[in-house]
Amino acid sequence: MNALTELQQFFTDPLMQRSLIAAIIVGIAAPVMGTYLVQRKLSLLGDGIGHVALTGVALGWIVGSAMGLVEKDSLAIPGAVVAAVVGAVVIEFVRERGKTSGDVALALLFYSGIAGGVVLIGLAGGTNANLMAYLFGSISTVTQLDLLLIAGLGVVIIAVGVGLRSLLFAISNDEEFARASGLPVRAANIVIAIIAALTVTVSMRVVGLLLVSAIMILPVAVAQLVTASFKTTMRVAMVVGVLVTVAGLMITYWVPLSPGATIVMVTVLVYALVAAITPLVKTSHSKGVDPHPDVPDDVTLDEEETCNE
């Protein structure tokens, strides 16, 4: 009974309702983008964009205080969106060039992003404490306006990520073949970069910029343990994303912990659990199945026809 009333309180608390909606949107949207990033072996791109977004947060803060807004940080998310999109497009151009110096260029961008954020907020008269909410997330302070932004961007991310899946898969899977099909490779790459940037800024309030990559990538890592195809990997990752964000948020309702970090730790635990269980399940499934790769024989034996196809 007691547990039920507690749950009822959790779901009727308007603050919690806002947090829950934000968490569910991020839980669905982040793994969609994460699937493409993992496929392109750009798992840490979200981290890099997150660093750059911090400068955007500080710029939004500066503009907000210059305009004399009551809520000094009401322009933080729009600022982060702009900075993250610019940063992601720059990263995409560096990636496209494929130069060895690209690695160093990225490092330059990432660290100037995070250091720029700290310096700018200082110049604007703020303190590092103001940035902490963005670095580690502060889902409990999500305002009505934040929620609208998160919902709007979330819909865009999911619509593009799921709606254009065949195209984005084709381009991520084999860029050369996509070019030989006349597909708009460069435009699609820039779309992926922009959507990844939006995902980072949407996830920022929930898990924080430092853990943004985790909520994009870890559900995909969990899904990969149990799936074979790209499509099911994305679907399972979305389900895992929602489950861990909701579970993590619920834990922090009763235990005073940082929601962002708790969500990420729940995901890591889920990963460990699935990784431990999968081999056991797979073994019992594949009993009697030849473990050798399906390669035709080099030699033909007289007594039997060898035919693997």
Of 3 and 299, CB closest to another protein: 299
Residues 202-221 that bind another protein (CB under 8 A): 220
Residue 41 makes contact with another protein by CB under 8 A: yes
Residue 172 makes contact with another protein by CB under 8 A: yes
CA dihedral 83, 16, 211, 84 (to 10 degrees): -10
Shortest Cβ distance from residue 202 to another protein (Å)?
A: 22
> SS3 for 74?
coil
- Burial category of 101 from C-beta neighbours within 10 Å (exposed 0-12, middle 13-18, buried 19 and up): exposed
CA pair distance 84, 91, nearest whole angstrom: 10
Shortest Cβ distance from residue 153 to another protein (Å)?
A: 22
Instruction: Give every CB contact of residue 204 below 8 A, 6+ residues apart in sequence.
Output: 50, 53, 57, 77, 80, 134, 137, 212
> Which residue from 129, 228, 289, 301 is in contact with another protein, where contact means CB under 8 A?
228
> Which residue from 9, 101, 181, 278 is in contact with another protein, where contact means CB under 8 A?
181
The interface region with another protein, picked from 122-130, 206-214, 222-230, 267-275 by CB under 8 A, is: 222-230
CB of 238 closer than 8 Å to CB of 223 = no
Q: Which of 273, 178, 289 is nearest to 218 (CA)?
A: 273
Of 41 and 287, CB closest to another protein: 41
Shortest Cβ distance from residue 268 to another protein (Å)?
A: 19
Residues 250-309 that bind another protein (CB under 8 A): 293-296, 298, 308-309
Q: Which of 283, 271, 39 is nearest to 171 (CA)?
A: 39
Read off the DSSP letter of residue 38.
Answer: H
> Which residue from 170, 239, 243, 265 is in contact with another protein, where contact means CB under 8 A?
170
CA pair distance 27, 238, nearest whole angstrom: 7
CA pair distance 182, 163, nearest whole angstrom: 20
Of 136 and 169, CB closest to another protein: 169
Shortest Cβ distance from residue 86 to another protein (Å)?
A: 26
CA pair distance 171, 137, nearest whole angstrom: 33
The interface region with another protein, picked from 37-45, 49-57, 123-131, 243-251 by CB under 8 A, is: 37-45
Cα distance between the two ends of the chain: 61
Residue 169 makes contact with another protein by CB under 8 A: yes
> Which residue from 35, 55, 252, 258 is in contact with another protein, where contact means CB under 8 A?
35
Q: Which of 23, 20, 11 is nearest to 204 (CA)?
A: 23
CB of 154 closer than 8 Å to CB of 28 = yes
Of 24 and 183, CB closest to another protein: 183
Of 22 and 45, CB closest to another protein: 45
The interface region with another protein, picked from 36-44, 80-88, 124-132, 149-157 by CB under 8 A, is: 36-44
Residues 127-146 that bind another protein (CB under 8 A): none
Query: Given the rule CB under 8 A, which residues bind another protein?
Result: 35, 38-41, 43, 164, 166-167, 169-170, 172-184, 220, 224, 227-231, 233, 293-296, 298, 308-309
